[in-house]
Amino acid sequence: MKRIIQKLTVAACFVATAFTVQAQNADEVFRAAGSPHNPKVQISFNRYYTAEGLAALGKKIADAYPNLVKRVSIGKSYEGRDMWMLQITNFEKGDPDRKPGFYVDGNIHSNEIQGGEISIYTAWYLTENYGDIDFVTEMLDNRIFYIVPTINPDARNNYMQEPNTGSSPRAGMIAMDDDQDGLFDEDLPDDIDGNGSITQMRRKSPTGNMIVDPQDPRKMIAIGVDDNVPADVVRYEFLGQEGIDNDGDGQVNEDPHGYYDPNRDWAWKWQPDYIQRGAYKYPFSVPENRAVADFVLAHPNIAGGQSFHNSGGMILRGPGAEEDLSTYNRADIRIYDAIGEKGEKILPGYRYLTVYKDLYSVFGGELDWFYGSRGIYTFTNEIFTSFAYYKNNEGGRRGGNLSYDVDSELLMGDAFEPWKTFNHPTYGEIEVGGFKKNFGRATPGFMLEEECHRNMAFTLYHAYHMPNLSISNVEEKDLGGGLKEITATISNDRLMPTHASQDLKYKIERPDYISIAGVDVQAGMIVEDADFGVTTEQKVNPAKLEVANIPGDGFVKVRWIVSGKGKYTITVDSAKGGLVTK
């Protein structure tokens, strides 16, 4: 029986606005473990949203949970769009600026879109589950999340709304002259069949080196040197991506959107374009990146960071280049390893890798700026892996058939545009067809919510291990003569110290302060070895001791010699570890 497949336009795949739907009656819902059972904000996570769509969803979340969310613009894009951030914490408990902060962003590359949905999912999940799931409640009581779903809103919209391939445009929307003819973006690929995707062109040719697969009309088979092709079998030649000669220079598609890469723009080990293709004028010459950097510089409480790219199923840490290898020392690599290896468990099919060693060199990358310049433990996840299609690693053993199998078996033919005839002004009669732009790099809709949840779970695990300080023990000893010795133990029961090694090396952030009030302090000291009584005295301002670092899964001891009676207060003041008082 002939299978009839309803074709949806690409525009329908990228719905820009989520309709407001009232929560269902409680007796109509049976809760699934780990998910909001009757959310105030109804969002479909089986589709992608434009920049305006993400902004609208963020506003709905902020409006629904004003005590948990503040929505702010951290800057403007090149084309003037707001860069919306959702700041998420329990704003009624503690000073939000003094809580350990975790920064999240997505979509620095235009076609790497899943980060937008993962970011919105994270905001949605945290707010909808506050008060229902203890882990979430504790996180928002004691931490703050800074979530920017897209830091490249202009190019996100271009990818979704204009004709593109699955891999274009990578950059932002600043025009450049790629073919050096004095004109900018004047010969872009053209969507000659009007389906919203730039697919492929082929032409019948007696000297062509391809034939149609007799078992599957979607596929082309290369003719080998020893193959005997019958005379009645039609040969084809490929003509590249869809397009025409817009500028009349005898070439097709030779001046696409200018190639600059916003992930080569960050002010850490930056290199110019002639050394590393994709760099723009100078570090932070891209306005979107400058806005992020200004925010991070103004928020020293940020201890962890996460950015989302696609694809390949990778959890990446720096360094981006071997030349920067010494930046990441052994102590911090142990922390990265512990979190990254947990990520491999949370994200089946993903691999924990190092950028320069396992991929290629990157200079001026966001990942390295966050860590190298600010001492923030940061990962980049490359979203989606073919493992997800059939929950195995057989993709590479399918003889190049995996995409075709997925199209027919899982997507019912919706990923491939069938070949159709077109009268080309230069090439004459040709055929146009191939995989649509929303397939390959972008997670299919039915898999997207799982992708969002697993990547969020990894993010929350990372955020959980930001410093968590407590004054775990206070001991008093009477010294006579009206003097008393007070010894306090300050514990950190998470993986991250209050200062990364890079922070300590370059003194990026101020020391931690441990102070005592309510008594007259005669002397103050850090206890180096309690068993042997080794201390280091701070002679200036002894009531406010400066501690270089409070280690992860560790502690520091401090001691004061004081006079006076009555109650006293001990306060720990750490930029990344927060405020603790006892």
pLDDT of amino acid 514: 98
- How many angstroms separate the CA atoms of 218 and 416, rounded? 8
Q: Structure pTM? A: 0.93
DSSP assignment of 204-228, as one string?
A: E-TT-SEEE-TT-TT-EEEPPTT--
Count the Cβ atoms, other than its own, within 10 Å of residue 224. 9
- How are beta strands 82-88 and 69-76 bridged, if at all? antiparallel
- What letter represents residue 580's amino acid? V
Domain ranges of the chain: 10-160+260-384+443-464, 179-256+396-440, 469-581
Which residue type is seen at 59? K
Chain-centroid distance, C-alpha 76: 19
- What pLDDT does residue 18 have? 46
Is residue 563 within 8 Å of residue 482, measured between CB atoms? yes
With a cut of 80, say whether residue 394 has pLDDT above it: no
The predicted model gives 36-53 an average pLDDT of 95
- Higher-pLDDT residue of 103, 259: 103
- In this prediction, residue 493 has a pLDDT band, given cuts at 50, 70 and 90, of very high
Query: The domain 10-160+260-384+443-464 belongs to what CATH superfamily?
Result: Zn peptidases (3.40.630.10)
Greatest extent of the chain over all pairs of C-alpha atoms, in Å = 111
pLDDT of residue 14 exceeding 60, the answer is no
Q: What DSSP string runs through 27-71?
A: GG--PPTTS-SS-SS----SS---HHHHHHHHHHHHHH-TTTEEE
Integer Cα distance of 61 and 66 in angstroms: 8
Q: Is 9 helix (H, G, I), strand (E, B) or coil?
A: coil
pLDDT exceeding 90 applies to what percent of the chain? 80
Give me 576's structure tokens: 């990344």
**Segment 331-381, tens digit of pLDDT:** 999 999 999 999 999 999 999 999 999 999 999 999 999 999 999 999 999
Peptide bond between residue 96 and the one before it cis (omega within 30 degrees of 0): no
Q: Which range has the worst mean pLDDT, 70-84, 203-217, 256-270? A: 256-270
Distance CA 384, CA 396 (A): 15
HEC states along 326-356?
HHCCHHHHHHHHHHHHHHHHHCCCCEEEEHH
Catalytic residue check, 366: no
Q: Are strands 428-435 and 469-480 parallel, antiparallel or unpaired?
A: unpaired
What DSSP state is assigned to residue 373?
Answer: I
Specify burial of residue 162 (Cβ count, 10 A radius: 0-12, 13-18, 19+).
middle
Name the region of 162 (left: φ>0; alpha: ψ -120 to 50; beta: rest): beta
Asked whether the beta carbons of 295 and 74 are under 8 A apart, the reply is yes
Q: What is the mean pLDDT of the chain?
A: 91
Check residues 308 and 2 and name the one with the higher pLDDT: 308
Is 21's pLDDT higher than 80?
no
Structure tokens at 217: 């009309």
485 beta partners? 477, 561
Residue 351 to residue 345: CA distance in whole angstroms: 9
Residue 22 has pLDDT above 90, yes or no: no
Instruction: Match 């990228």 to its residue by tokens.
Output: 14
DSSP 19: P
Give tens-digit pLDDT for 419-453: 999 999 999 999 999 999 999 999 999 999 999 99
Residues with Cβ within 8 Å of residue 298, at least 6 apart in sequence: none
**pLDDT the model gives residue 7:** 35
In the chain, the N- to C-terminal Cα span, in Å, equals 76
Mean pLDDT of 323-332: 91
Alpha carbon distance 483, 469 (integer Å):
29
**What pLDDT score was predicted for residue 175?**
62
Which one is the CATH code of 469-581: 1.10.10, 1.10.3060, 3.40.1360, 2.60.40? 2.60.40
Give Cα 36 distance to the centre of its chain: 23
Q: Which of 112, 366, 382, 417 is catalytic?
A: 382
Topology agreement, domain 10-160+260-384+443-464 and domain 469-581 = no
Query: Could you report the per-residue pLDDT of 64-87, keeping only the tens digit for each?
Result: 999 999 999 999 999 999 999 999
In the predicted model, is pLDDT for residue 28 greater than 60? yes
Q: Where are the beta strands (DSSP E) in 428-567?
A: 428-435, 469-480, 483-492, 512-517, 520-529, 534-537, 544-547, 554-563
Mean pLDDT calculated for residue range 511-532: 97
73 Cβ neighbours under 8 A, 6+ residues apart: 82, 83, 84, 85
What's the pLDDT score for residue 316? 98
